[in-house]
Amino acid sequence: MKVDFAFLCDHAEISGKINALGIGFDTIYAKQAPARHPYFFLVAQIRASIAEAGDKELTVRLIDEDGKDLTPEIRTVMSISSPRQGRLESLGRIRIGFNNVEFPRYANCSVHAVIDGHEMIRIPLSIEPPKG
């Protein structure tokens, strides 16, 4: 398996295609800490070979720079179907929402996705005061 792409965004829907708004941010600016952010999404596309098709255990964590979970870890099953006729690879898509997250202080955080015990995605996310 390999990751075609992964990003954080303001909103996302998957219905055949991935539709996303506010793609690719890595910083949340907050006037004060603790800060609460209403929602954001992790979106990713995983490419798998015919031998890798099937159900995969997916665990997603949002952690601070000390490795502490900022939200409860998300555990789910991700299904990667067998490739369509004439294709050698199949796609799996991930859309995980984080709602009403409280960040206790300005810090460097990260979103991690582990598929079947292998970390496949690590996206940095900084919480900072506004610039200027």
Q: 4 Cβ partners below 8 Å, 6+ apart? A: 44, 45, 46, 47, 91
Mean pLDDT for all residues in the chain = 94
**pLDDT score for 16:** 84
pLDDT band per the 50, 70, 90 thresholds, residue 91: confident
- Domains of the chain by start residue, with CATH: 2-128 (2.60.40.1930)
- Please indicate whether residue 50 or residue 72 has the higher confidence score (pLDDT): 72
Residue type, 96: I
C-alpha 74: how far from chain center: 10
Three-state secondary structure call for residue 18: strand
The pTM of this model reads 0.92
- How many other CB atoms are there within 10 angstroms of residue 121's CB atom? 19
Between 38-52, 77-91, 92-106, 116-130, the lowest mean confidence (pLDDT) is in 77-91
Q: 119 Cβ partners below 8 Å, 6+ apart? A: 112, 113
Reported as a single tens digit per residue, the pLDDT across 18-49 is 999 999 899 999 999 999 999 999 999 999 98
Reported as a single tens digit per residue, the pLDDT across 58-71 is 999 999 999 999 99
pLDDT band per the 50, 70, 90 thresholds, residue 106: very high
Q: State the DSSP string of 58-107.
A: EEEEEEETTS-BSSPPEEEEEEEPPPPTT-SEEEEEEEEEEEEEEE-SSE
